[in-house]
Chain A
Amino acid sequence: MTEHGFEHPDVIVCPGGPLLLRGEHVVEDADGNTHATQRPVSAVCRCGKSADQPWCDGTHKVLPARDRP
């Protein structure tokens, strides 16, 4: 807890995993297509291997440790 309350970041970088985004955003994927967030929190792929780009699908967990973000 901080002096004025709780830490509540808009963006959370998960070690070895996705980037969490709180709130409404439009994300452009690597091919230039845009995707609007649909949930209170969204997980953006950081390992590049998700089959559901730009969103995380958990694939980072089956990568060797050196290939995780």
Chain B
Amino acid sequence: MLLPKARGELSEALYDALRSETGEVGSLHLQPTDGDDAQIALWAMYELHYAGFEDAGDEMEWHPDVLRLRRRLERDFEAELRARHTATTLDEPFAESLFSFIADHDGPSLAAYVQRKADREQVLELLRHRSIYHLKESDPIAWVVPRLPTAPKAALMELQFDEYGDGDPNRLHAHLFALGLEAAGLRPDLYAYIDDVPVEILELNNAMSLFGLHRRLRAAALGHLAAFEATSSLPSRRMAQGLARLELPPEMIAYYEEHVEADAVHEQLAVRTICGSLVAEEPQLVDDVVFGAFTCLDLEDRYAQRMLDEWAAA
């Protein structure tokens, strides 16, 4: 995998630095050209911690100048995410209250559109966009495991073990998505479509890495997980039905059908045994759980609205 296309002056300068054969990194003090530029630069720096890039030196993952730029962009991004969120207190009991907070959030539904209206090209576009996350599904939350006390750590691993196929690589969720892409005639290799994705997809992915890579934000990471899982089962059913309507291959349908059943379990675990046990031990983290949950829902809304607007205008 090679570095994606630059989207502005800052990402251009960053990639020049990451490709530097000497390991010398010049000035990375430029301001981003726009949101796309900032988000693709941040995404590329995060990616150094996952699979990396063939044209970026391995040493760059921990290069102080790269980390300094990452920190600057993260601060702006986190401030933006927090500005979008209105602090909300949760009543007792915690689990029911968090489920209600998620259920009461009203937003546009891509799954409902796919179920009834989308054409094949629109669904393939959606799958290309979703591939950025689904091909590393559950990896960002894996960073959180060593940052948790005993009970939530065990609870998170109970869920993660299922995400990673219960020990069977053939059932690993990211692998199931790769099989689906391939069967649908799309590229299953990592981030093949990164240059095609809108900024909303970059924000979705970067928020998960931001929460996952900072111990300070561990509760936001788990709140994000809870909202993600709790808004998955029913939409996955609709996605599966839409894909079947459009006669997409069974492998891709199977991916969504797996998530109907798996996420009906995972939402209970994420809310009750994972977030529930964390806030039982550290009640001061409730607000960050809610912040993470809101961010997941809000970023999904922004992506859904963008795609529905684009398709309506076409």
Contact = CB atoms under 8 A, between A and B. Distances in A.
A51 B96 CA distance: 23
B25 to A, nearest CB: 44
User: Which has the most chain A C-beta neighbours within 10 Å: B99, B150, B158, B260?
Assistant: B260
B265 A42 contact: yes
Interface residues of A, number: 24
B264 A43 contact: yes
Interface size class of B (residues with CB under 8 A): 20 to 34
Nearest to A20: B268
Given A17-B268, A39-B166, A55 B158 contact: no
Contacts of A42: 265
Given A39-B166, A40-B161, A57 B265 contact: no
A20 B103 CA distance: 21
B163 to A, nearest CB: 10
Interface in B117-157: 150-151, 154
Main secondary structure of the interface of A (DSSP, over half): loop
Contact of A57 (B99, B261, B269): B261
Given A39-B162, A58-B234, 14 more contacts: A16-B96, A18-B268, A39-B166, A39-B265, A40-B162, A42-B265, A43-B264, A51-B237, A52-B260, A56-B264, A57-B237, A58-B233, A58-B260, A61-B234
B268 A61 contact: no
B267 interface: yes
B224 interface: no
15 contacts: A14-B272, A16-B96, A17-B268, A39-B162, A41-B265, A41-B269, A42-B265, A51-B237, A52-B261, A55-B264, A58-B234, A58-B237, A58-B263, A59-B234, A62-B234
Given A57-B260, A58-B263, A40 B158 contact: yes
Interface string A4-48: 001000001011111010000000000000000011111100000
B262 interface: yes
Contacts of A51: 237
A47 B262 CA distance: 17
A31 B58 CA distance: 57
Nearest to B162: A39
Nearest to A45: B264
